[in-house]
A and B are shown apart, each in its own frame.
Chain A
Amino acid sequence: MNAQLLATKAYNGMATVHPEVPAISVGMGTCGIGNGADTLYDALVDAATGKNIIIKKAGCFGYCALEPLLMVYHPDRPVLLFGDVKASQAADFVRAASDEAAYAALAPRALCKLSSWDFRTAAITFGEGFPDVPEWNELPFFKGQEKLVMRDCGLIDPESLDEYVAVGGYSALARAIGSMSPDEVIAEITSAGLRGRGGAGFPTGVKWQMMRQNEATERYIICNADEGDPGAYMNRNEIESDPHMLVEGMAIGAYAMGASTAIVYVRAEYPLAVHRLQKAIADATEAGLLGDRVLGTDFSLTMRIVSGAGAFVCGEETALIASIEGRAGRSSPRPPFPAAKGYLGKPTNINNVETWCNVPVILARGASYFRRFGTDRSPGTKVFSLVGKVKNTGLVELPLGMPLSDIVYGMGEGTGSRKRIKAVQTGGPSGGCIPADKFDTRVDYEALAELGAIMGSGGMVVMDEDNCMVDVARYFVGFTSAESCGACAPCREGLSQMLRILTAITRGEARAGDIATLERLSRVVRDSSLCGLGQTAANPVLTTLRYFRDEYENHIIGGRCAAGTCEALFSALCENSCPLHMNIPGYLALMGEGRLEEAFELSLRDNPLPGVMGRICHFHCQMRCKRETLDEPVAQGELHRYLADTIYKIGAQKAVWARLVDEKLPSNGLKVAIIGAGPAGLSAGFYLARLGYEVTIFESRPAAGGILRYGIPAYRLPKEVLDTELELWTLLGVTFVFNTAVGVDVSVDALSSRHDALIVASGAHADRSLGVPGEELDGVHAGYAWLEEFALGTAPVPRKRALVIGGGNVAIDTARTLARLDCEVRVAYRRSRDDMPANAVEIKGAEDEGVRFEYSLQPLEVLGTAGRVVGARFRVMRAGGVDASGRPAPVATDQTVDIPCDDVYVAVGERVDASFLSGTGVSVHTDGRIRRDALTCKASDSIWAIGDAVTGPATAAEAMGLGKQAARAIDEALMKRSVFASLFKDFGYSMQVPPEPVEALAMRSPEVPPSQRRGCFAEISQGYSGNQAVAEASRCLRCDIRANARSPWR
Chain B
Amino acid sequence: MNTTQESERTAPAPGALLSALENAQRENEYDYLPESILRRVAAETGEALSRVYSVATFYSFFNLKPQGKHPIVVCRGTACHTRGSLGLLKETADKLGFPDFREDEESSFTTEDKMFSVRTVACFGQCALAPVVSVDGAMYSRMTPARLCALIDDIRRGDQS
A interface residues with partner B (beta carbon < 8 Å): 30-31, 33-35, 64-65, 67, 218, 227-233, 236-237, 260-261, 263, 268-270, 292, 300, 302, 304, 306-312, 323-329, 343-344, 385-389, 393-395, 425, 428, 459, 461-463, 467, 472, 475-476, 478-479, 482, 485, 629-630, 1043
Contacts and interface: CB of A to CB of B under 8 A. Distances in A.
Contact of A236 (B1, B18, B77, B125): B125
Nearest to A311: B59
Nearest to B12: A326
Nearest to B16: A326
A428 B78 contact: yes
23 contacts: A30-B125, A30-B126, A31-B126, A33-B139, A34-B132, A64-B129, A218-B7, A227-B123, A230-B78, A233-B126, A269-B121, A269-B124, A269-B125, A300-B1, A306-B19, A310-B121, A312-B122, A325-B14, A326-B16, A327-B55, A329-B58, A387-B78, A478-B104
Minimum-distance CB pairs A-B, first 9: A231-B78, A64-B128, A230-B77, A309-B59, A306-B15, A34-B139, A233-B125, A309-B61, A230-B123
A394 B76 CA distance: 18
Q: Which of B10, B22, B60, B76 has the most CB of A within 10 A?
A: B60
B17 A326 contact: yes
Given A231-B77, A269-B123, A327-B51, A467 B82 contact: yes
A344 B7 contact: yes
Given A230-B122, A231-B78, A328 B54 contact: yes
Contacts of B22: 268, 307, 309
A307 B18 contact: yes
Contacts of B108: none
A164 to B, nearest CB: 22
A994 to B, nearest CB: 16
Contact of B15 (A33, A260, A269, A307): A307
B3 interface: yes
B57 to A, nearest CB: 8
Contact of A228 (B6, B21, B122): B122
B11 interface: yes
B39 interface: no
Given A263-B14, A323-B18, A65 B128 contact: yes
Contact of B3 (A33, A218, A329, A386): A218
Nearest to A228: B122
B150 interface: no
Interface in B81-110: 81-83, 99, 104
Interface of B: 1-4, 6-7, 10-12, 14-19, 21-22, 47, 51, 54-55, 58-62, 75-83, 99, 104, 121-130, 132, 139-141, 144-146
Contacts of B83: 388-389
Nearest to B139: A34
Contact of A31 (B4, B16, B128): B128
Nearest to A220: B7
Nearest to A33: B139
Nearest to A385: B127
A230 B76 contact: yes
A309 B60 contact: yes
A425 B10 CA distance: 44
A954 B88 CA distance: 34
A228 B77 CA distance: 10
B41 to A, nearest CB: 11
Contact of A65 (B7, B11, B16, B129): B129
Contacts of A325: 11, 14
Contacts of B6: 218
Contacts of B78: 229-231, 387-388, 425, 428, 459, 461, 475-476
A385 B128 contact: yes
Contact of A482 (B3, B104, B129): B104
B145 to A, nearest CB: 8
Given A218-B6, A306-B18, 18 more contacts: A30-B124, A33-B139, A229-B78, A236-B125, A268-B61, A302-B2, A308-B59, A309-B18, A309-B60, A311-B58, A325-B14, A343-B14, A388-B78, A467-B82, A476-B78, A479-B122, A629-B146, A630-B146
Contacts of A485: 58
Contacts of A462: 82
B51 A461 contact: no
A280 to B, nearest CB: 18
A324 B14 contact: yes
A699 B39 CA distance: 84
Given A34-B141, A65-B129, A231 B15 contact: no
B11 A344 contact: yes
A84 to B, nearest CB: 12
Contact of B79 (A33, A35, A231, A472): A231
A330 to B, nearest CB: 8
Contacts of A261: 3-4, 7
A543 to B, nearest CB: 14
Contact of A233 (B16, B55, B127, B145): B127
Contacts of B82: 388-389, 461-463, 467, 472
Contact of A310 (B17, B61, B139): B61
B15 A326 contact: yes
A482 B62 CA distance: 15
Contact of A260 (B3, B10, B80): B3
Contact of B126 (A34, A324, A344): A34
B62 A309 contact: yes
Given A323-B15, A326-B12, A310 B79 contact: no
Given A218-B7, A309-B60, A31 B129 contact: yes
A241 to B, nearest CB: 12
A190 B62 CA distance: 41
Contacts of B3: 218, 260-261, 300, 302
Given A268-B61, A328-B58, A387 B128 contact: yes
Contacts of B77: 230-231
A232 B78 CA distance: 8
A393 B82 CA distance: 13
A310 B10 contact: no
Given A292-B2, A388-B83, A629 B144 contact: yes
A263 B18 CA distance: 15
A304 B58 contact: no
Contacts of A65: 128-129
A463 B84 CA distance: 12
Contacts of A467: 82
